Amino acid sequence: MKVLGYALLPLMFAGVPKSDPFDDYLNSIKKNQPPPDLSEMAKVCKFDLVGKQPDRGVNSGARWIPSKDLAKAIREADSDFFASAEVWKEDGKPRLVVLWSLELDTGSQIRAMACVGTDGKPSSMHVTNWSIPVDGSTGGWIHEQIETFDPSGKVLSKQGYFVDWKGNRTSAPKLDEDSTGSFEWVPGVDVIQKVESDLTGAMRKEFKK
């Protein structure tokens, strides 16, 4: 699987077919309708999505650059790794950051949604980690990780659990050594702030042109 969403075999978890998570995200952008999970996270952030549009971009390695067409960006990716982000703002300040990290050759998809305070640091984060069989076989897993932070970035609370495609909690699958522990990954505070800085700064420059 080189390009996501264009030659993708059906996904199967516990015998239930499901569409691709990142494809669903791209479709929501096309329809200009926030995904349900994003709407729920916005409530946690006490942020109103109505009437707002995010700054979107992709990772170029050293920095994040604006992108108005993520579907085109992933088609043109020359690597099996792809990362995109969007920053939702209120009064010009970041309030909600969404980060996607994809490994196209392994079937790994990670989405991190973070509520951002006035200091630009995340106060809470919800990370969903999908492990998708690239050969279309059954198996794979979905893990949810929720963390809250104090103003210094120290973790205040942390909980993680596995779910099925319907969102119901389920027991942990049998994992190999490479997968064990990888489902608990969350982006650091510095990663979130880098996204904010690169994308909001770049969009301000573009707006002034």
pLDDT tens digits, 172-203: 888 766 666 667 788 888 999 999 999 987 44
For 113-164, write each residue's pLDDT tens digit: 999 998 888 999 999 999 888 776 667 889 999 999 998 888 999 999 999 9
Residue spans of the domains in the chain: they are 11-208
Long-range contacts formed by 8-12: CB under 8 A, 24+ apart: 9/135, 9/136, 10/136, 11/132, 11/133, 11/136, 11/140, 12/133, 12/136, 12/137, 12/138, 12/139, 12/140
DSSP one-letter code for 183: G
* Residue 184 and residue 167 in contact, taking contact as beta carbons nearer than 8 Å: no
pTM score of the predicted model:
0.85
Q: Which tokens sit at 167?
A: 């969102």
